[in-house]
Amino acid sequence: MTILGLVSLPRFKAAVLGATGVVGQVFMALLQNHPFFKVKRITASPGKEGLEYRKALRAWIPPVELSPEYGRLTISSFEDVLEDDDIKIVFSAVPRQVAEDMEKKLAQRGKTVVSNAGALRMEADVPLINPEVNISHLGLLERQKRERGWSGAIVKNPNCTTAVFTLALKPIMDRYGVEQVNLVTLQSLTGAGLRGYYVLEAMNNVIPFIKNEEEKVQRESAKILGTLENGEVKPKSIDIWVTTTRVPVVVGHTEVAHIKLRDNPGSLNEVRRTLEEWRGETGDVDTPTLPRQPLLVYEDPFRPQPLLDSYIEKGMTVAVGRLDLLRERVLRMVIVGNNLVRGAAGAAVSIAEYMHEKGLI
């Protein structure tokens, strides 16, 4: 992004699907005053068409004010978005069950869809991207366009837990090799949406099960950490034993990992530097949402905490702490990441920004 760019280029028109939901709201917040994209249309659940956005919201979750401009957008139908050829890019935060059909139609119509919806993530020709980890998987788009005959495209960001986890795991994997991971997550309530839990079931409690979550972490991690060769992502075979739970925290997933390494680190300091200095595959590209430092490491054993560490660099930086060698070649990390930003809308916006910079939209 350059000053020159800001001046000379008109902003791409964008749409946000599912803009009243919790992830949709974070899309709207990140796209306020955005130098590349300008939201022109939004959708919500059926029946809300024509309402003003700010009046259709029951709550506004992001920690920034909703801009008057976006607040006054009126809610469109999906068809209006589909048929608006002015719209080049669509950010999707719709429920899994309606996503597949909508997103395919949009791609066919020539739009670039960057989507947080669970559907299609494991399709062989759909890039599933955690930017710093595997932005190179965008290479799949060539095959996608060819095989599907789309003028547009569909790109996915990962499940929230997986996005946080793979970001912290990648530099460790690259440097030391990873043989096995024990992962226990303490996930926040916004991961289940605005109406995920009733007060009387979730407060003062731990819920020890999140449907399909453990499978997603294993499956998506293998794809994200895999290598793209000849138009094919070869999944990384990592042995992950995982239990996912829900705790009474509003934003920020905490993940405790006990990682069996191939090589013993020289020291914890070396591990710390490996994490903090890592920039990943997006290293040379500077965009508004990609963080300058993807991973921050605490030496204070009381950190990271979701209450304090969920909004570092707008929520894109993942915080790591409690680094310890529990045994030889067994590394412990506690990882905290913002499930709505790094784990959802922020990852998607970063992907779109990267595509914009590389001329892929």
Footprint of a copy of itself (CB under 8 A): 22, 58-61, 63-65, 182, 184, 186, 189-190, 194-209, 239, 241, 243, 245, 247-250, 254, 256, 258, 301-308, 311-313, 321-322, 326-327, 330, 332, 334, 336
Between 10 and 68, name the residue whose CB sits nearer to a copy of itself. 68
Residue 86 · residue 109 · CB < 8 Å:
no
Q: How far is the C-alpha of 138 from the C-alpha of 250, rounded, in Å?
A: 32
Between 148 and 332, name the residue whose CB sits nearer to a copy of itself. 332
Between 96 and 327, name the residue whose CB sits nearer to a copy of itself. 327
Q: How far is the C-alpha of 159 from the C-alpha of 219, rounded, in Å?
A: 10
Q: How far is the CB of 21 from a copy of itself (least distance, A)?
A: 11
Q: How far is the CB of 204 from a copy of itself (least distance, A)?
A: 6
Between 138 and 251, name the residue whose CB sits nearer to a copy of itself. 251
Q: How far is the C-alpha of 354 from the C-alpha of 286, rounded, in Å?
A: 8
Residue 21 · residue 193 · CB < 8 Å:
yes
The structure tokens 């599933």 sit at: 128
Q: How far is the CB of 196 from a copy of itself (least distance, A)?
A: 8
Residue burial 210-246, b: 16+ Cβ < 10 Å; e: rest: beebbebbbbbbbbbbbebeeeebebbebebebebeb
Residue 286 · residue 131 · CB < 8 Å:
no
Task: Please say if 253 is a catalytic residue.
Answer: yes
E strand or H helix at 320, and its extent?
strand 318-327
Q: How far is the CB of 78 from a copy of itself (least distance, A)?
A: 26
Q: How far is the CB of 189 from a copy of itself (least distance, A)?
A: 5
CA distances (Å), 282 to each of 91, 287, 300, in order? 20, 10, 29
The first and second tokens of residue 94, run together, are 């719709």
Between 171 and 315, name the residue whose CB sits nearer to a copy of itself. 315
Task: Please say if 356 is a catalytic residue.
Answer: no
| β-pair partners for 336 | 254, 319
Q: Which of 34, 160, 258, 356 is catalytic?
A: 160
Q: How far is the CB of 73 from a copy of itself (least distance, A)?
A: 19
Between 11 and 197, name the residue whose CB sits nearer to a copy of itself. 197
Q: How far is the C-alpha of 305 from the C-alpha of 248, rounded, in Å?
A: 13
What residues act catalytically? 160, 253
